[in-house]
Structure 1
Amino acid sequence: MKLAKIREKMAGEGVDAFLVTTYLNWRYLSGFTGDAGQVLITENSSYLFTDSRYTEIAAEEAPDFNVVETGVDIDPLKDALKKEGVRSLAFEKDQVTYANFERMQERFEGIRLEGVSRWIEGLRMVKSPEEIALIAKAQEIADEAFSLASRAIRVGATENELALELEFTMRRLGADGLAFPIIAVSGARSSLPHGQPTDNKVAPGDFLTFDFGARYKGYCSDETRTFVIDPLDKKHEEIYKVVLEAQLAGLEAAKPGVPGKDVDAAARKVIEDAGYGQYFGHGTGHGVGLAVHEGPSAGKKGETLLEPGMVITVEPGIYIPGFGGCRIEDLIVITESGKEILSGSPKELTVIG
């Protein structure tokens, strides 16, 4: 099905072949997990080029592809283009530097090169049931790990210690690894939306935010939860309430047929109406799959209409420099009737004493 859709695009563009050089894109098409390779799609054939380190695993993981070994002294891709009679070749222009393009012109002399954009990324936005099951499993692992690792939260614990405990627990529960480096920020540092953990110690009265995700069989999860360390004051309580209301509004807006920007607008309006608009700078959500950040966008400029099978985040936040910040994020899948929330961790205001 994936290759058939690519061949439809090739026919529409009037090209004989398509060269895929981006890791996640060749993995998506072929199932090959090695980190060195290229894929060539022609009208009737599909090739996977990789070096001797990976040929055995490539043959196992990509049975529908002709696996061809590459080497220093040979150019099997060029040979395949000649064998297939390729006169025009599409390539991923968003991923090719100008220097590499010049080398391609020299290497493939006589072949018309056609740069195309987001052919595979567009396909990746709508997940198959099998992909959704893998993402849901990654989220399940992350939720269980977070529940267990949260027991280590205490005054005096460092951000690094808490992040390490969460990472270890996700791996122990079956994650391939992290979907992205864990964000664990406390106190005034919680105003850093993508702040990395340090030896900063959790203190009374802090916001403590975790943004985390597991990777399972290549697919990612993504979730954010924020705690308050006792004592709770009115400002922390107010900010948390506003962010939660905004997040719920974003969830309510997420449904098939609406553009991603409508999800952003619904969440952003709650924060702006509460007087905190200047402290919410990022988009409300993004797609998740093989990459933790991919299409579609649920930000201010998210024009793509949501479809069943799309997996996105809904994650508004308020970040006040010098004070701290709060973000709440769920991972959802768009369904025929609306949405399904994959995240399972509680998100009511939790004060840790």
Structure 2
Amino acid sequence: MNNKVERFKKSLNENNLDSAIVFKPENRRYLSGFTGTSGYVVITEEKNFFITDFRYVNQASKQCEGFEILKHTNDRTLYDILNELGLKNLGFEDAFVTVSQYNDFNDKLMGISLKPLRDTLDKLRMIKDQDEIEEIKKAAQIADEAFEYICEVIKPGITEWEVALEIENFMKKKGATGTSFDSIVASGIRSSMPHGVASHKVIENGDFVTLDFGCIYNGYCSDMTRTVVVGKASEKQKEIYNVVLEAQETALEAIKPGITGYEADKVARGIIEAKGFGEYFGHGLGHGVGLEVHESPRLSPLGKDILKANMVVTDEPGIYLPDFGGVRIEDLIVVTENGCERLSKSPKHLIEL
């Protein structure tokens, strides 16, 4: 049996659910392996079903090992099929299903009680298996190669948009199917914007340039950030950079199984606060990465989850000074039995281009 499905069934049983329906794309792929855009995973105590329409029956038959493939049509709808299966307590993705969809399920399902799955799948997906880690490593490797390449491209006169386009084209040529998110290229005073998506601003000599990007490889994401200086760094730029680097590397040494996301965040935040820049670090230290670029666990002041081996998370402190610029340094890492392993291999010393 698919180990992911087996773990999910165990969770359903612990929550007194005899079945569940799953159709959030990432959760659907996690359980079934299906990479198409339309379909429903239905897990029962006895069997696993994948319900889709005419367009995807053949694809699902090839990808969804261990699932019985059922086709819904205008004459035999999804609701008809669910009613035929004899379900009683049906778990659903309450954080994903719309009010309209929920009302349709309530109106058209006969004698089936809908029960929220809450964070059941989020918790399962936090722990990666070895195959998942290998896919993420490959995505991280492509991002590292893209950073090495783009350092040869960035120069005064090029726009942020052109830099982002070069990064994204490079990653796709290396096998990525897409970007994990809209690439952030923020230069000069725009680098004080933590999520400064690439604009048509021209990069100038003396600018900080923050590069935050990642790619998708076989469905799994990477995420990394490096900040460089075009030309020679000023003393103030060096000061800010070195504080962020110290916070980032100290947190890296602290991240291991048994600590909470809150405790990991506190390590980096304490260093930045001690240097007088606490008010300029306004986001969490990191987040989980997998089929989604932002998933559980959270490494932040609100991060309650305990870190465990085989979680993949980011370590990305930053300082952002309005009207001056900002620095963020981010590694993608996997928690190991005794600590953590960097998946982002790009250099972290201050690079002056």
Do both share a fold (TM > 0.5)?
yes
Shift of 1:80: 4.2
- Which of 6, 9, 12 does residue 7 from structure 1 map onto? 9
Query: Secondary structure at 1:286's aligned position in 2?
Result: strand
Q: Give yes or no for contact 2:79–2:109 (8 Å, CA) kept in 1.
A: no
Q: Give yes or no for contact 1:332–1:341 (8 Å, CA) kept in 2.
A: yes
Q: Deviations over 1:162-200 (max 9, x none)?
A: 111111111111111111111001001011111111111
Shift of 1:279: 0.6
2:187 alignment partner in structure 1: 186
The 5 Å alignment of 1:155-304 reads 155-304=156-305
2:75 alignment partner in structure 1: 73
Q: Deviations over 1:236-270 (max 9, x none)?
A: 01000000001011111100111111110000011
Query: Secondary structure at 2:258's aligned position in 1?
Result: coil
Q: Give yes or no for contact 1:49–1:77 (8 Å, CA) kept in 2.
A: no
1:105 aligns with 2:82: no
Query: Secondary structure at 1:94's aligned position in 2?
Result: coil
1:96 aligns with 2:97: yes
Q: Which whole-Å CA distance do the structure 2 matches of 1:177 and 1:101 have between them? A: 31
> In structure 2, what residue type is equivalent to 1:99?
S
Q: Which moved more, 1:148-157 or 1:210-219?
A: 148-157
1:345 alignment partner in structure 2: 346
Q: Which whole-Å CA distance do the structure 2 matches of 1:271 and 1:225 have between them? A: 18
2:119 alignment partner in structure 1: 118
2:36 alignment partner in structure 1: 34
> In structure 2, what residue type is equivalent to 1:161?
E
Q: Give yes or no for contact 1:68–1:76 (8 Å, CA) kept in 2.
A: no
> In structure 2, what residue type is equivalent to 1:71?
T
Shift of 1:93: 1.2
Q: Which whole-Å CA distance do the structure 2 matches of 1:50 and 1:287 have between them? A: 30
Shift of 1:67: 1.4
User: Aligned pair in 2 of structure 1 residues 77, 49: CA closer, same or farther (>3 Å)?
Assistant: farther
Q: Give yes or no for contact 1:145–1:169 (8 Å, CA) kept in 2.
A: yes
Q: Give yes or no for contact 2:79–2:108 (8 Å, CA) kept in 1.
A: no
Q: Which whole-Å CA distance do the structure 2 matches of 1:332 and 1:246 have between them? A: 15
Q: Which runs of 5+ in 1 are unaligned?
A: none
1:138 alignment partner in structure 2: 139
Query: Secondary structure at 1:53's aligned position in 2?
Result: helix
Q: Which whole-Å CA distance do the structure 2 matches of 1:7 and 1:103 have between them? A: 25
Q: Which whole-Å CA distance do the structure 2 matches of 1:99 and 1:199 have between them? A: 40
Q: Deviations over 1:93-143 (max 9, x none)?
A: 111222322211111132111122021111000000110000000001111
Q: Which whole-Å CA distance do the structure 1 matches of 2:47 and 2:125 have between them? A: 21
Q: Give yes or no for contact 1:213–1:223 (8 Å, CA) kept in 2.
A: yes
Q: Which whole-Å CA distance do the structure 2 matches of 1:193 and 1:328 have between them? A: 11
Q: Which whole-Å CA distance do the structure 2 matches of 1:79 and 1:38 have between them? A: 11
1:50 alignment partner in structure 2: 52
Q: Give yes or no for contact 1:308–1:334 (8 Å, CA) kept in 2.
A: yes
Aligned residues: 351
User: Aligned pair in 2 of structure 1 residues 134, 127: CA closer, same or farther (>3 Å)?
Assistant: same
Q: Which runs of 5+ in 2 are unaligned?
A: none
Query: Secondary structure at 2:69's aligned position in 1?
Result: strand
Query: Secondary structure at 1:152's aligned position in 2?
Result: coil
Q: Which moved more, 1:185-194 or 1:63-72?
A: 63-72
Q: Which moved more, 1:73-82 or 1:295-304?
A: 73-82
TM-score by length of 2: 0.97
Query: Secondary structure at 2:151's aligned position in 1?
Result: helix
Q: Give yes or no for contact 1:318–1:325 (8 Å, CA) kept in 2.
A: yes
> In structure 1, what residue type is equivalent to 2:5?
L
Q: Deviations over 1:65-111 (max 9, x none)?
A: 111222233214532442x3212211111112223222111111321
1:325 alignment partner in structure 2: 326
> In structure 1, what residue type is equivalent to 2:307?
L
Q: Which whole-Å CA distance do the structure 2 matches of 1:13 and 1:108 have between them? A: 21
Q: Which whole-Å CA distance do the structure 1 matches of 2:131 and 2:17 have between them? A: 31
Q: Which whole-Å CA distance do the structure 2 matches of 1:42 and 1:325 have between them? A: 51
Q: Which whole-Å CA distance do the structure 1 matches of 2:186 and 2:137 have between them? A: 26
Query: Secondary structure at 1:165's aligned position in 2?
Result: helix
Shift of 1:214: 1.3
Q: Which whole-Å CA distance do the structure 1 matches of 2:78 and 2:177 have between them? A: 32
Percent identity for Structure 1 against Structure 2: 45
